[in-house]
Structure 1
Amino acid sequence: MDFWGKTIWITGASSGIGKAVAIELSSNNVTLILSGRKEEALKDTEKLCIKNGCQTVILPFDLGNEESIEEAAQFIKENNIKIDALYQFGGISQRSFVAETPISVDRKIFEVNYFGTIALTKKVLPQMIKNGGGQIAVTSSIVGKFGFPYRSSYSASKQALHGFFESLRAENAKNNIAVSVIIPGRIKTNISVNAINKDGKTHAQMDAGQDKGMSAEKCAKVICKKLKKEKKEILVGGSEVIMVHIRRFLPRLYYYMASRVKPL
């Protein structure tokens, strides 16, 4: 994937990894479609990107609202914008135990992380195929590779993304569609602050582990380097990412550790 001169749609661009990736890409003479729920925050991202000489379009929408997704996709179509790459960082995390979490909270998490993400993908994919190819990247998590306390539906929604996008990749290899699944560990963003609790309200706390995580800027550099190489899975983070390998090669040790790990 040569970023130079491409049009790249980034969701979750108002903060965190999505914002950092947008800024990292902005020096490549790209056109960036910046999306998220908060328009003012997107404008802050835009200012930083424009300083690096790129062109931008702000396109706010809500991943948890199907009509909002449809309106965003319609804007792209009506303005004849050719999307070369779709990088999806939008999502919501969770801080609650299974036994205390009502199904409405589980549904909300899936609506944003899974259904909203695949809905946008389905809007972009046909035109991308028609144009001869492109790149799609979606953000999972290390808990998209295994279950983890206090993250039941968050983990499940991310694991669902793996199944969907691996299927999409297999179906569209002939269409020159590159698919990458980004798997961050603990990155210092506000994902824990913005997570929802058992009542569906904002957690409003920075997890201690999150606070000590890799910076979003360093994370973005790793992600962009591997997106350029079209890596199918992009594992990024600190020592915590070793859990992915432990789960794969030493499952008994993983089960022992997972039942004793501090979820925050």
Structure 2
Amino acid sequence: MNLNKNRIVKNIEIVDLGLKIQDYLIISDLHLGYEQSLNTEGLMIPKFQFEKIISRLEEINSFSATKSIVINGDLKHEFGKITRQEWKEVNSFLSFLQDNFQEIVLIKGNHDNFIPYITKKLEIEVKETFSIENVFLLHGHQIPENIEDIKEDTLIIGHEHPCIGLRSGERVEKIKCFLKGEFKGKNLIVMPSFNFVSEGSDILHEKLLSPFLKNYPLDNFEAYGIENFEVFPFGKIKDIIKVSQQFI
């Protein structure tokens, strides 16, 4: 895999559903325990995601060779509690990270209220934000009050779970994607979810979630589709909309 062709900005490379900056691998929105939440709602989804996440991380690291990892929010799924599945899988996942990375950075997402109860025993700190080189990472569910004072040129957020819904008649094919645009004069990169239960939110047809996006036009944002480790530059959102309307 040629990582150089997957640069989204000059010092950031797309590596499957993650980003690589120096020796850091960044992933976002795992939502461990999501299957149990769906089961309680009556949707009988088998618990397969944990093994898939571990397998995918092992494959990514086989060619990216990163030494540190950043989880950019929403490691677990439930808002107001820790389910049995979450407790088991978060502990197992963090143990896996400790065995395979020299540094672990956890950024708090809006689903992570109870994460410190687990991470404290493993002596892993949960942060609100994190900086690497000239890049500022935060989950993206809220805009910090001091956003104007951030010195870094690039912001990276999760939370949105972006995907592109390509329609052909009645059929819709959803493809996870990265988004790249501007926010208040800075580069803004939006990460897809590292979650294998759901493809995410179709940014062409569904309501946006993040305040970094929902009050600002996406027309000039660029989308990079991800499918089986391949990166597909889709171009600007306004052009994707024009093309997709031809198939309605």
TM-score, length basis structure 2: 0.38
TM-score, length basis structure 1: 0.37
Higher strand share: 2
Higher helix share: 1
